[in-house]
Amino acid sequence: MAAQDILAGLDLGTNRTTAIVGEPLDDGTLRILGVGTARSRGIKKGVVVNLERTIQSIEEAVSEAEKAAEVEIGSVTLGIAGDHVKSINSRGVIAVRNPDNEITRSDVARVIEAARAIALPGDREIIHVLPQEFTVDDQGGIHDPVGMIGVRLETEVHVITGASTPIQNLLKCVRRAGLDVDDVVLSSVAVSYSVLTQDEMELGAVLVDIGGGTTDIAVFADGGLKHTAVVGVGGSNVTNDIAIGLRTPLAAADEIKRGHASLLPVEGGDEILVVPGVNGRPERSVSREILNSIVRPRMEEILALSYREVKKTDYWDLLAAGLVLTGGGALLSGTLALAEHLFNLPAKHGVPQGAIGYEELVQSPEYATGTGLLSYAHRQVDLDTVGNGRGQILERVTGTMRRWVAEFF
């Protein structure tokens, strides 16, 4: 197996660092070769709070993935999240230069460059510039204008930015762990590559990724990404609430949450749980209903804040495909029912698609970001090989240098 055929994704979550290795197959699917995980010790809400511990977590996860895949990982596609990520929609307009008025890829690149020329504070960097649609003269709703005839080309783009300091600290940790960074990808963008179909993007869908430290929201309509947002609460807040409410260590609180917590009413009689005490203090008996009464308000807050972010957009009436929930926090019993109630939309779990190998492990909302990073990297390999099709240009940040990637599919 050639080294250039290997793809690797690195997801630095608040609770867990995941490295995942795969190879593209001829039929367009991905074969997962290995998965490595480690407890995140230096990341909080997508931001490095301890450099050495973050490096250690990366090294542990990558080493485990390399051992499982029996390959050496040299570079990764890095997922990024955090409430420092912001987005804005922008418009660009240019005149077509060709004497015969035929639009070329160069024109597409120029109009996107015009759209990304927005005023940014010096402490922020552009992560993605995602075209939503093009307009040729007065004809709108165009996905690929290349080859069309016109004198005026316009585009609407979704610009995603992040604070420079958190981005550079993440990159420094990855490089000090001995890895190069191929791409930096917003987690919700990566997730969409693994769990959303083209039909869902066309009909309109809301992606809500409930991670450990943050909840990432992405709104898709008319085949493109229209809105992104980050809510600064996630599954770790639920765990902290349990630890405080039941006066138990965080590790025990996480186990109790995963094994017993629910947003649904208790049926068949209340269950009594034995809860460990803190630092040698005696165990306590607590009813499951008390546990659920601690969990429900925080999950309601997470979903209500997510709903508020979606509701304030112009795309609320275009979400025919409904709600897709991913991330470890989405697995809490009753989350789908609560989300359907709050959003008044059909909801489902987002399960990674288009990959074989390690199915029992990775075909879960918890691994949507990791598999999405692989799918994203896989798409870039296809683009480099094929180089034609529908136009979409992304800006990727690697160190202090930026370069454009023309995405045609």
* pLDDT (tens digit per residue) in 218-264: 999 988 899 999 999 999 999 999 999 999 999 999 999 999 999 98
| pLDDT value of position 288 | 92
| pLDDT value of position 4 | 56
| pLDDT value of position 201 | 92
Q: What is the CA radius of gyration of the chain?
A: 22
Q: What pairs with residue 235 in β-bridges?
A: none
Instruction: Report CA-CA distances (Å) from 14 to 17, 82, 335.
Output: 8, 10, 20
The beta strand positions in 143-191, using DSSP E, are 152-163, 180-186
| pLDDT value of position 355 | 87
CA 346/CA 257 separation, integer angstroms: 25
| Burial zone of 104 (CB within 10 Å; 0-12 exposed, 13-18 middle, 19+ buried) | middle
Helices 368-386 and 187-195 pack at an angle, to 10 degrees, of 80
Q: Computed from CA positions of residues 232, 236, 240, 242, in that sequence, does the dihedral angle turn out positive or negative?
A: positive
| pLDDT value of position 395 | 38
The enclosing H or E element of 130 equals strand 124-136
Using alpha carbons only, give the angle 298, 302, 303 rounded to the nearest 5 degrees. 120
CA 151/CA 99 separation, integer angstroms: 10
Q: What pairs with residue 34 in β-bridges?
A: 21
Length of the chain counted residue by residue: 409
The enclosing H or E element of 307 equals helix 288-311
Q: Which amino acid is at 111?
A: V
Residues of the chain with pLDDT under 70: 1-4, 268-269, 381-409
Domains of the chain, CATH where assigned: 87-163 (3.30.1490.110), 200-349 (3.30.420.40)
Buried b (16+ CB within 10 A) or exposed e, 125-138: bbbbbbbbbbbbee
Question: Are the CB atoms for 377 and 9 separated by under 8 Å?
Answer: yes
Nearest to 366 by CA among 384, 347, 349: 349
Q: Which two tokens stand for residue 54?
A: 């973050």
Long-range contacts at 146-152 (CB < 8 A, ≥ 24 apart) = 146/103, 146/104, 146/105, 146/108, 146/391, 147/102, 147/103, 148/102, 148/103, 149/100, 149/101, 149/102, 149/103, 150/96, 150/101, 150/103, 151/95, 151/96, 151/101, 152/93, 152/94, 152/95, 152/96
